[in-house]
């Protein structure tokens, strides 16, 4: 019994102890909710937290006190501290942040925002409120499309978008940049604030812009003269063709004349593309005393393209430089009529017979290699040196190059031109006259004065080619251009559509005579011996004559007789395809097909009938001329013409 009581007593004691513990725990929990304080905001001490503190924290701090226009910023102790906005920006209760300064400095009239969309992955927009909000109408929204970033925003809220990956200013509409003599290259190149030089604008476009396939015009706001040299190496980003980047002069008198030793009017290479219109290039500004310090007018090389549009004039340069140089895969295209005007003027001169020098009234701007033209001056004369008012000369071909008579007060004209008008080298598709070979689309070339080209009007060299079909030269070009019409060497080609000798301007090596031919024979008998026919000359060609006629007639009257024979092909406006001459009586010409339309004063081209155009003189012995290709007709006293130089496996077509 005593042992059982002892066991019961012990158990009761254990239960009593457990009860005390439970009461103690419950009492302790009840006391915490009552005694834990609500700690201040930002407290991070190791203390108990009241229900109010926890509820406030989870409610987003909506009741946390914060001074108006202040923001919470974490400090170095990882505590959120209330701080005011800086003087650059302000904040209002609606949550809008407006910034009017950057590091205490107000923005200028044009300022950049360093915002974007990250390597062009998406587009984006930005709402801004510049300092000048009162004058521009408050907040503006600027937006750039996919793949572009906001580059600059001006005070009107107008933005420019840039290529997000390159940072270049991207043009999204056709754009014109302005240049004027009174401008400055520190200006933004607008009409109101133009730049000074074309070269600056093009360099700016090449280095900092993506043209975005837009048409971009560099516009001069006056006629110049502009003395800078444009030299562009490499392509323009975003340019999709030469006709979409245009230098446009104020008028056809807008002059570009580089300073001494400055370089070309335009030189482009390594894939650059450009078009010029209303543009006159001359190297007269590069004459210093009686010395020439100029260069080629235009140089196009290494896969670049230059297009000549309307209103282009080729002015002064001299040998060994060219009007147009095309090399190493360059390409030049002529799309419109143009003018050649290389003259520097006239002077009066005195000279004795048999002399190789003349005394002039003024030697200003007379330099070596200028051509000399005047009564008593031998053909092909050019300046060799100048001493005071004494001008010494020699000739390209004449061994006895002296005056034929004496003269006093004779009007003498001096002019440039160059080594060639067009010089091609290593350019298999170097040039093109955009006529499609159709005389109705002819390009008219006007010459003023006496152009003087040392080697030829066109010199095609080193596997080069030029398509020069359906060009009409003025009478001054054909009669006054001192040069060979062309030279074609080293497996090169000039393709004229077989439209003639002397199809190109040039008086050197051009012979007009007649010959007897036999179809299928390479031997012809010329009417003259020792009259200038030489191996390598292209033989036969065309004669240009004007005419007025009605539609549907089979006989027309032309401006002059000569170089027309039965069977001669005839080309021109209003002339049916395949027409040949059926009869000749003075200036009256019968046609194999009726005319297709009425024409007034049009130019017609009569082609050779007995010797195919493009044939070449292979040998000369007295009056016997050997042809490269057999004659195509049997003719007696048929008119022939020779001129130019064709060597090796080159072609004149």
Q: How far apart are CA 113 and CA 596, in angstroms?
A: 67
Q: Is the pLDDT of residue 386 over 90?
A: yes
- Domain containing 525 equals 521-534+552-562
Q: Once rounded to an integer, what is the mean pLDDT over residues 345-351? A: 93
pLDDT tens digits, 252-299: 999 999 999 999 999 999 999 999 999 999 999 999 999 999 999 999
pLDDT tier, 6 (very low <50, low <70, confident <90, very high otherwise)? very low
Percent of residues in the chain assigned helix, strand, coil, to nearest 5? 10, 40, 50
Q: Is the pLDDT of residue 403 over 50?
A: yes
Count CB neighbours of 179 within 10 A.
27
Q: How far apart are CA 449 and CA 451, in angstroms?
A: 6
With respect to residue 441, please indicate whether it lies within any of the assigned structural domains: no
Could you tell me which of 256, 257, 218, 254 has the C-alpha nearest to residue 236?
218
Q: How far apart are CA 580 and CA 355, in angstroms?
A: 50
* DSSP assignment string, 146-159: TTEEEEEEETTS-E
Question: Is-contact 157 166, C-beta < 8 A?
Answer: no
With respect to residue 284, please indicate whether it lies within any of the assigned structural domains: no
Q: Which residues pair with 652 in a beta bridge?
A: 494
Task: Locate 112 and state its tokens.
Answer: 């950049």
**Residues near 23 by beta carbon (within 8 Å), at least 6 away in sequence:** none
Q: Positive or negative CA dihedral for 412, 414, 415, 416?
A: positive
**Residues near 332 by beta carbon (within 8 Å), at least 6 away in sequence:** 298, 300, 305, 306, 307, 308, 324, 326, 422, 430, 431, 432
Task: Locate 392 and state its tokens.
Answer: 């010494």
Could you tell me which of 145, 136, 137 has the C-alpha nearest to residue 163?
145
Q: How far is CA 410 from CA 3, 86, 392, in A?
A: 164, 86, 16
What's the domain count of the chain?
1
The structure's pTM equals 0.69
3-class SS letters over 34-51: HHCCCCCCCCCCCCCCCH
With respect to residue 575, please indicate whether it lies within any of the assigned structural domains: no
Question: Is-contact 500 545, C-beta < 8 A?
Answer: no
Quote the DSSP letter at residue 440: G
Q: Once rounded to an integer, what is the mean pLDDT over residues 31-51? A: 61
Q: Is the pLDDT of residue 592 over 50?
A: yes
Q: What is the pLDDT of residue 161?
A: 64
Quote the DSSP letter at residue 236: P
Question: Is-contact 511 532, C-beta < 8 A?
Answer: yes
Task: Locate 639 and state its tokens.
Answer: 């008119």
Pairing of strands 287-288, 266-269: unpaired
With respect to residue 530, please indicate whether it lies within any of the assigned structural domains: yes
Q: What is the pLDDT of residue 135?
A: 39
Could you tell me which of 368, 420, 363, 364 has the C-alpha nearest to residue 393?
368
Question: Is-contact 520 611, C-beta < 8 A?
Answer: no
With respect to residue 526, please indicate whether it lies within any of the assigned structural domains: yes
Going across the sheet that includes 324-327, the strands are: 230-233, 266-269, 298-301, 324-327, 417-425, 452-461, 486-488, 645-646
Q: How far apart are CA 367 and CA 464, in angstroms?
A: 31
pLDDT tier, 230 (very low <50, low <70, confident <90, very high otherwise)? very high
Q: How far apart are CA 249 and CA 280, in angstroms?
A: 9
The gap between the terminal CA atoms of the chain, to the nearest Å, is 146
Q: Once rounded to an integer, what is the mean pLDDT over residues 578-604? A: 89
Q: Once rounded to an integer, what is the mean pLDDT over residues 29-50? A: 59
Q: Once rounded to an integer, what is the mean pLDDT over residues 390-408? A: 88
Q: Is the pLDDT of residue 25 over 50?
A: no
Could you tell me which of 356, 490, 324 has the C-alpha nearest to residue 420?
324
With respect to residue 556, please indicate whether it lies within any of the assigned structural domains: yes
Q: Please tell me whether residue 116 adopts helix, strand or coil conformation.
A: coil
- Identify the top-confidence range among 29-43, 63-77, 369-383: 369-383
With respect to residue 192, please indicate whether it lies within any of the assigned structural domains: no
**Residues near 11 by beta carbon (within 8 Å), at least 6 away in sequence:** none
With respect to residue 91, please indicate whether it lies within any of the assigned structural domains: no
């Amino acid at each position: 019994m005593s042992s059982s009581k002892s066991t019961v007593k012990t158990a009761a004691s254990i239960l009593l102890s457990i009860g005390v513990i439970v009461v103690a725990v419950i009492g302790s929990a009840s006391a915490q909710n009552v005694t834990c304080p609500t700690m201040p905001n930002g407290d991070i001490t190791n203390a108990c937290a009241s229900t109010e503190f926890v509820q406030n924290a989870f409610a987003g701090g909506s009741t946390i006190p914060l001074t108006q226009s202040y923001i919470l910023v974490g400090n170095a102790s990882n505590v959120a501290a209330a701080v005011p906005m800086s003087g650059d920006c302000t904040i209002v209760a609606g949550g809008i942040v407006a910034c009017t300064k950057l590091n205490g400095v107000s923005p200028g009239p044009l300022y950049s925002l360093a915002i974007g969309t990250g390597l062009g992955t998406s587009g984006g927009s930005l709402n801004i409120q510049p300092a000048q909000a009162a004058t521009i109408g408050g907040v503006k929204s600027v937006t750039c499309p996919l793949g572009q970033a906001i580059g600059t925003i001006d005070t009107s809220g107008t933005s420019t978008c840039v290529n997000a990956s390159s940072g270049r200013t991207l043009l999204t509409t056709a754009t014109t940049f302005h240049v004027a003599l009174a401008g400055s290259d520190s200006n933004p190149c607008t009409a109101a604030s133009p730049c000074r030089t074309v070269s600056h604008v093009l360099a700016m476009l090449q280095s900092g812009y993506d043209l975005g396939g837009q048409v971009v015009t560099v516009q001069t706001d006056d006629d110049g003269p502009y003395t800078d040299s444009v030299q562009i190496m490499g392509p323009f980003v975003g340019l999709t063709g030469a006709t979409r980047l245009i230098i446009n002069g104020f008028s056809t008198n807008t002059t570009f004349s580089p300073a001494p030793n400055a370089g070309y009017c335009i030189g482009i290479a390594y894939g650059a593309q450009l078009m010029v219109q209303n543009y006159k290039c001359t190297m007269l500004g590069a004459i210093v005393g009686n010395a020439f310090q100029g260069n080629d007018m235009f140089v196009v090389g290494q896969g670049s393209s230059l297009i000549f549009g309307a209103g282009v004039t080729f002015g002064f340069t001299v040998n060994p430089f060219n009007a147009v140089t095309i090399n190493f895969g360059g390409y030049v295209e002529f799309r419109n009529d143009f003018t050649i005007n290389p003259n520097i003027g006239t002077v009066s001169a005195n000279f004795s017979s048999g002399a190789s020098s003349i005394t002039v009234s003024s030697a200003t701007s007379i330099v070596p290699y200028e051509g000399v033209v005047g009564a008593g001056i031998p053909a092909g004369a050019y300046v060799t040196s100048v001493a005071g008012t004494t001008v010494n000369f020699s000739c390209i071909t004449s061994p006895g190059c002296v005056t034929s008579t004496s003269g006093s007060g004779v009007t003498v004209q001096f002019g440039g031109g160059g080594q060639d008008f067009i010089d091609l080298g290593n350019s298999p598709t170097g040039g093109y006259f955009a006529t499609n070979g159709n005389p109705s689309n002819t390009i008219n070339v006007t010459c003023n004065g006496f152009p003087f080209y040392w080697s030829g009007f066109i010199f095609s060299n080193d596997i080069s080619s030029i398509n020069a079909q359906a060009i009409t030269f003025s009478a001054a070009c054909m009669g006054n251009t001192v040069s060979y019409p062309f030279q074609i060497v080293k497996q090169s080609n000039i393709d004229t559509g077989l439209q003639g000798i002397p199809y190109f301007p040039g008086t050197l090596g051009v012979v007009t005579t007649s010959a007897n031919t036999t179809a299928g024979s390479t031997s012809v008998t010329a009417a003259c011996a020792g009259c200038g026919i030489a191996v390598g000359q292209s033989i036969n060609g065309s004669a240009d004559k004007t005419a007025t006629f009605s539609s549907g007639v089979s006989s027309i009257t032309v401006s002059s007789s000569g170089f027309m024979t039965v069977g001669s092909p005839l080309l021109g406006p209003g002339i049916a395809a395949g027409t040949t001459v059926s009869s000749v009586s003075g200036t009256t010409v019968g046609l194999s097909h009726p005319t297709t339309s009425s024409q007034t004063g049009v130019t017609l081209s009569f082609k050779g009938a007995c010797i195919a155009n493009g044939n070449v003189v292979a040998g000369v012995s007295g009056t016997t001329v050997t042809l490269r290709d057999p004659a195509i007709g049997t003719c007696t006293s048929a008119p022939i013409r020779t001129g130019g130089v064709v060597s090796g496996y080159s072609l004149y077509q």
